[in-house]
Copies of this chain bind each other. A is one copy, B any other.
Amino acid sequence: MNASKASEIKNWRREQNGSVGFVPTMGALHEGHAELLRRARKENDRVVLSIFVNPTQFNDPKDLEKYPRTLDSDLSLARREGVDLVWTPSRDELYHDSVGGGAATGVFNFRVCEEKLSSRFCGAFRPGHFIGVLTVVMKLLQVVKPARAYFGEKDYQQLLLVKQMAAAFFLEVEIIPVPTVRESDGLAMSSRNVRLTAEERKQAAFLVRALRESNTAAEAAVRLGEAGFRVDYVEDFEGRRLAAAWLGEVRLIDNVKI
């Protein structure tokens, strides 16, 4: 089933007796998302996928505009992975509490804010990004009411923040981390990879290698800079090495266990 209104999702939800696994996405689905869906399929009676390019988490309007939209192939992938319900909410419904010019302005009223982790790492370079993420995830979780929600480890800071939010607000959901799925050369799968030029695509795999093969975060940053990346940050945090770096107009993020 494919539905856009929150009320339809709520009605469907009320009819389910078993457990619901939830995979929230921004579409442009790839093998990384497929892996989340397979985990959800295995561990729950029902699987819900949401597809919503959340405007409030884009600090850069150009990035929002260029974000790939591939709904038809997303729906095929969902069918293939046995998804029971695909939710494609509208901006106007999800942000009906927007101020002034509606959801499109990105000015939204009620927010989930966090004072600590959300301003570091990616948050330091993308002001407001995690407020947008946490707010939309809170809304989605309240409608879908899953037993489990699945998040990729590629967005590691996001995963940590969503986990912390669920604990802080006593949400019933279990937040399940799923290991990053990589291309054969090691590049972490990402919807933004399609925006790399052929040349950049070849270079891109060096990101994870630099993280793995350097002794320190600082060393990795230097090596990435020498290889032509514009580095936002490389930092070690709670047993992971986190990084964000640009190739041309594309910002890549990745992280590895240390």
Known: A139-B170, A169-B139, A171-B142. A110 touches B164 (CB 8 A): yes
Number of contact residues on A: which range applies? 20 to 34
Q: Check: A214 CB closer than 8 A to any chain B CB.
A: no
The number of times this chain is found in the oligomer is 2
| Whole-angstrom CA separation of A172 from B144 in the bound complex | 11
Assembly CA distance A142 to B142 (angstroms): 9
**Are B109 and A110 closer than 8 Å at their CB atoms?**
no
Which residues in window 78-115 of A have CB below 8 A to B? 96-97, 99, 107-115
Tell me the minimal C-beta distance from A159 to chain B in angstroms.
15
Given A97-B164, A164-B97, are A142 and B114 neighbors across the interface (CB < 8 Å)? no
CB distance from A54 to the nearest CB of B (A): 15
Q: Is A1's beta carbon under 8 Å from chain B? A: no
Binary contact readout A150-184 vs B (1 if CB under 8 angstroms, 0 otherwise): 00000000000000110111111000000000000
B169 lies within 8 A of A138 (CB): yes
Please give 19 more A-B residue pairs, beta carbons under 8 A apart, in addition to A139-B168, A142-B169: A6-B170, A96-B167, A97-B164, A97-B167, A99-B116, A107-B115, A109-B114, A109-B164, A110-B112, A110-B114, A110-B134, A110-B164, A110-B168, A111-B112, A111-B113, A111-B115, A112-B112, A139-B169, A143-B170
